[in-house]
Amino acid sequence: MTRVLAIANQKGGVGKTTTAINLAAALALRKKKTLLIDLDPQSNATIAFVEAGDVQVSMFDVFGDHAPEMAKVIKPTKDPNLFLAPAKLSLARLEQQLAGAFDAPYKLKDALAPILKDFDFIVMDTPPALGILTVNALVAATHLLVPIQAAYFAIEGTDDLLETYARIRSRPNPDLKVLGVVITLFDRRTNISRDTHEQIRAVFGDALFKTRISKNVRLEESPAYKETIFAFAPKSTGAEEYKKLSQEVIQRVEADRVTRHTQDAA
């Protein structure tokens, strides 16, 4: 079964796109055929792989009335196991374009249905807002992964995200699960990072991933060279941490699969 991960947090600057790019790349390194979907109008996940001007068909087109097949949007990357569904700035118009459409929250889920069998994992980068694009991601997802920065007021705003998650589970996607919370931009040298880590652990408990993503200049530089951290700096701290995170993700989705199978058989 394909695992569809929505990487979401309505706060900006929490390492969401960095996590989406490098988690997808780490899964691909583990021989998992992985699709990275860019749903953020800023298109940062896209321009980490291709020049913005080279994108002709994008995720914006998928939401249109005469949408192309999802397969026509997907592009290969340098890694044979990693594929990209790119975004363009035009995604910013969707909120107004889809306003009032009865099927607006289901557009992405419907588009993904024909290609689900082609991938082991689908990783979705969402915008820093709880609008129609993030809702579409949550409706289409099997799991939610929440990056939280190790900084003051880190947890502020997560109540809104979890409330949206609960509403999605109550009706359009009852099978959606929180896969976990990952601490990003962690600086072990500062008291605030260590204190925030303990605060997040107290709030989220077992949902918190053991792996923390450190603040790392190589992670910031790699997109400028159109490379993931594994191609740009494979021995860096960032590369090692995203490898560890991918292993935790695989372990958690497998544990969830076993739990669901047991529940279905009962």
Say yes or no to pLDDT of 66 above 80: no
Encoded tokens for 69: 């097949």
Q: What is the mean pLDDT of the segment spanning 153-180?
A: 91
Please tell me the predicted confidence (pLDDT) of residue 158. Answer: 87
Q: What is the mean pLDDT of the segment spanning 148-169?
A: 88
CA–CA–CA angle 226, 68, 98 (5° rounding) = 95
Please tell me the predicted confidence (pLDDT) of residue 150. Answer: 85
Please tell me the predicted confidence (pLDDT) of residue 69. Answer: 92
Please tell me the predicted confidence (pLDDT) of residue 227. Answer: 94
Please tell me the predicted confidence (pLDDT) of residue 152. Answer: 76
Say yes or no to pLDDT of 74 above 90: yes
Query: How far from 31 is each of 17, 176, 184, 191, CA to CA, in Å?
Result: 22, 25, 25, 38
Q: What percent of the chain has pLDDT over 90?
A: 78
Say yes or no to pLDDT of 174 above 80: yes
Say yes or no to pLDDT of 43 above 90: yes
Encoded tokens for 63: 């939401």
Say yes or no to pLDDT of 46 above 90: yes
Q: What percent of the chain has pLDDT over 70?
A: 99
Say yes or no to pLDDT of 266 above 70: no
Tell me the C-alpha distance between 213 and 21, whole Å.
13
Domains of the chain with bracketed CATH: 3-265 (3.40.50.300)
pLDDT level of residue 52 (50, 70, 90 thresholds)? confident
Please tell me the predicted confidence (pLDDT) of residue 259. Answer: 81
Say yes or no to pLDDT of 236 above 80: yes
Please tell me the predicted confidence (pLDDT) of residue 260. Answer: 76
125 against 258, higher pLDDT: 125
pLDDT level of residue 253 (50, 70, 90 thresholds)? very high
Residue 63: in which H helix or E strand, if any? none
DSSP 189-214: TSHHHHHHHHHHHHHHGGGB-S---B
Say yes or no to pLDDT of 242 above 70: yes
The 10s digit of each residue's pLDDT in 199-226 is: 899 989 999 999 999 999 999 999 999 9
Please tell me the predicted confidence (pLDDT) of residue 165. Answer: 95
Residues 6+ away with beta carbon under 8 Å from 93: 60
Tell me the C-alpha distance between 152 and 192, whole Å.
7
Q: What is the mean pLDDT of the segment spanning 159-181?
A: 94
Say yes or no to pLDDT of 263 above 80: no
Say yes or no to pLDDT of 247 above 90: yes
The 10s digit of each residue's pLDDT in 84-98 is: 999 999 999 998 888
Residues 6+ away with beta carbon under 8 Å from 190: none
Encoded tokens for 183: 């601490």
Say yes or no to pLDDT of 100 above 90: no
- The per-residue pLDDT of the chain, averaged, comes to 93
Tell me the C-alpha distance between 243 and 201, whole Å.
22
Q: What is the mean pLDDT of the segment spanning 51-69?
A: 89
